[in-house]
Amino acid sequence: MPGYAFSNRSPEADSQLRALESFLDPITARRLVLRPGARCWEAGAGGGSVAYFMARAVGPVGHVVATDIDPLHLVPDDNLSVLRHDARDTPPPGGPFDIIHARLLLLHLPERRRVLKQMASALAPGGWLVVEEFDCTAAPRVLTAPNDDSAKLFQEVMEALFGVLRDRGADLGWAQDVHGEMARVGLTDIDTTMHVESWLGGSPAMALYDNNSRQLEPRLLAAGISPDQLRLFRALTRDPGFAAMSYSFTSSRARHP
């Protein structure tokens, strides 16, 4: 059944959001074109770290609308509104927007191309759309591992995890299409960057792999991964002798003419 695979109400949600923020927030901050007084929409705001960063940057005369289908982790502030909102619906009130940002959202939505077009239409003239996604067309490369079997196990569990996401309607190669889709809907000044780095066992970022396996555990077991394989996989993510590449993070931004 299509739908977002990770719930904000999961027991693992807090640790997942913190792991994502530790890896991604510095990259996102460099990609946002913010100015005092700007009107912003943070779509699929999650834990809210980017929305709060935006609110500080645009100042008291600017405004940020942070939306999520379950805004459990979001707290409104003087220049920050929080709305329960499905990005597949019409854009929220408060536009047209000078900045619209969506991170790790559209890849999960079968309607991703329509949603991107709607976001582009909600931009003010000269406004920027920033769409950031993981490119999961291949399992992350193992760099060091205790032995060949553990490296193989990591790859096997990750491939099963990607299969679960595909079954839920995710397009794991969507990150490669965003640049072209932005051009197709008439946006200009498009640029795309990619970021990948090594993650060491026991690091906050590596905890994301462990966390993903916990949130999707019932589906991974149904896909044929055994409880022992999951236990060994999670032990690997905490082993300082293990290292793997991160998910490849692609950031595309474009301007409304």
> What is the CATH number for 104?
3.40.50.150
Contacts of 15 (CB under 8 A, 6+ apart): 207, 211
Give me the residue label for tokens 């690997």. Answer: 236
pLDDT of residue 1: 37
Q: Would residue 125 count as lying in a domain?
A: yes
pLDDT of residue 5: 62
Domain span at residue 197 reads: 13-255
Please count the structural domains in the chain: 1
Rounded Cα distance between 48 and 162, Å, is: 26
Q: Would residue 242 count as lying in a domain?
A: yes
Apex 185 CA angle, 181 and 188, nearest 5 = 90
Q: Would residue 205 count as lying in a domain?
A: yes
Provide the whole-model pTM: 0.93
Q: Would residue 6 count as lying in a domain?
A: no
Q: Would residue 90 count as lying in a domain?
A: yes
pLDDT in tens, the chain (257 residues): 345 666 667 667 777 888 889 899 999 999 999 999 999 999 999 999 999 999 999 999 999 999 999 999 999 999 999 999 999 999 999 999 999 999 999 999 999 999 999 999 999 999 999 999 999 998 899 999 999 999 999 999 999 999 999 999 999 999 999 999 999 999 999 999 999 999 999 998 899 999 999 999 999 999 999 999 999 999 999 999 999 999 999 999 999 99
